[in-house]
Amino acid sequence: MLTPSDPTTALAALIAGNQRHVDRRANGRSATVSTRIPPASAKPFALSIEIERLHEPLTDLFDVSVDQVHSFVLSPGSGDMRSGRFEVMVSSEEDLVRIVDGSVDALGFSLVVVLGRLKVHVAEIDIAFRSAENRCFGIARQLLSSNGPLAASIGAGRIRMVGAVVDERDGRVHWLGEHPDQKALLRAGK
């Protein structure tokens, strides 16, 4: 598999990788690196913004190498670094906007995924899912309204930003798509 170079193939690669992950978990198999791009030929094509720290590593969740997906974790009130090669703990949404815009300029991602989390032990699944969805779209709204490099790249079609909720019960990612008001937010930011 070649490194995806456009937003559509980048999203398709993550969707396919997550399906491989879910299939492996359902069959009781562990992740393999044979389907992942060798690190020597890998370059980052996606940026993940985790609203809360996920239970599983992104390399397993999306069946990618550590060089392909960079990750920021939004954790208000904490400025500690999270262990892991490209994972950075971000203490506020304002810091997140600044760091994401800097990463977009420096690394040239084609996809940004805002990831919410549906925890294993949740009583009201519908309420928890709606809450995760609202948080994803809240972060997306702030990034789209920032009028920075990310918003400009999305407006120009070079980058796509989607929301997603990881169901930690089975490892499946539920794709939410783009923010429902994305076009209006981009127009308002110009």
Return the pLDDT at 10. Answer: 92
Return the pLDDT at 38. Answer: 52
* CA–CA gap between residue 188 and residue 155 (Å, rounded): 11
- Angle between helix axes 93-107 and 125-145 (nearest 10 degrees) is 60
* Burial class, 18, CB count within 10 angstroms (exposed 0-12 / middle 13-18 / buried 19+): buried
Q: Check: CB of residue 91 under 8 Å from CB of residue 107.
A: no
Q: Which fold has domain 7-189?
A: Beta-carbonic Anhydrase; Chain A (3.40.1050)
Q: In this structure, are strands 160-167 and 172-177 parallel, antiparallel, or unpaired?
A: antiparallel
- At 171-190, the pLDDT tens digits run 999 999 999 999 999 998 76
> Which residues are within 8 A (CB) of 107 and not within 5 positions of it... i.e. 6 or more apart?
44, 47, 70
DSSP per position, 4-49: P-SHHHHHHHHHHHHHHHHHHHHTTPPP-STTSPPGGG----EEEE
- At 65-106, the pLDDT tens digits run 777 888 877 764 333 344 333 456 677 777 778 888 888 777
* CA–CA gap between residue 10 and residue 84 (Å, rounded): 22
Closest C-alpha to 115, from 92, 98, 132: 132
* CA–CA gap between residue 166 and residue 66 (Å, rounded): 19
Return the pLDDT at 95. Answer: 78
Most confident of 38-47, 53-62, 125-134, 161-170: 161-170
Q: Which of 26-30, 33-37, 47-51, 149-153 has the lowest mean pLDDT?
A: 33-37
Q: Is the pLDDT of residue 2 over 90?
A: no
Domain ranges (residues) in the chain: 7-189
- With a threshold of 0.85, does the pTM exceed it? no
Return the pLDDT at 102. Answer: 81
Q: Check: CB of residue 93 under 8 Å from CB of residue 139.
A: yes
Q: Output DSSP code: residue 85.
A: T
